[in-house]
Amino acid sequence: MTEIDAKTDALVPAWLTLPDIAEVLGLEVTRVRQLVKEGQLIAVRRGENRALHVPAAFIGEDRIVRGLTGTLTLLRDDGFSDEEMLEWLFTPDDSLPGTPAQALRENRGTEVKRRAQALAV
């Protein structure tokens, strides 16, 4: 869990706090913290009280967006920091089109993972 810089903060259109996510997913906040600790979600400290926030795009109707966890694992294995992963996920990619985060939300995870794997080369 890292401090976030203005560039990354500007790329991510909306954020949710851990209690918000717990409510949406019907989980305890402690379970959401565990998901962050396990690397299934990325949380960063932001705002005046430095509370943990997760990009809203990572949360679907009632679960974590499909393909996100695997993509985060690939990027982490490629040596990406949390901030670098956020930057990659929210930077528009003309070949997708849109951002990798949007593609995941639209159930185009295979394309996103292919691009993440190509980064390792």
**Per residue, what are the HEC states of 21-82?**
HHHHHCCCHHHHHHHHHCCCCCCEEECCCCEEEEEHHHECCCCECCCHHHHHHHHHHCCCCH
Three-class SS state of 104: helix
Quote the mean pLDDT of the chain: 92
Rounding to the nearest 10 degrees, give the CA dihedral for residues 42, 80, 104, 63: -30
The whole-number pLDDT of residue 5 equals 73
The whole-number average pLDDT for the span 19-25 is 96
The whole-number average pLDDT for the span 76-98 is 93
**Residues 6 or more apart in contact with residue 24 via CB below 8 angstroms:** 16, 59, 62
Residue 1: pLDDT band (50, 70, 90) is: very low
Looking up tokens 């400290």 gives 45
CA pair distance 18, 36, nearest whole angstrom: 9
The whole-number pLDDT of residue 3 equals 53
The whole-number average pLDDT for the span 2-29 is 88
pTM of the prediction? Answer: 0.90
CA atoms within 13 A on the CB side of 117: 7
The whole-number average pLDDT for the span 76-99 is 94
**40: pLDDT strictly greater than 60:** yes
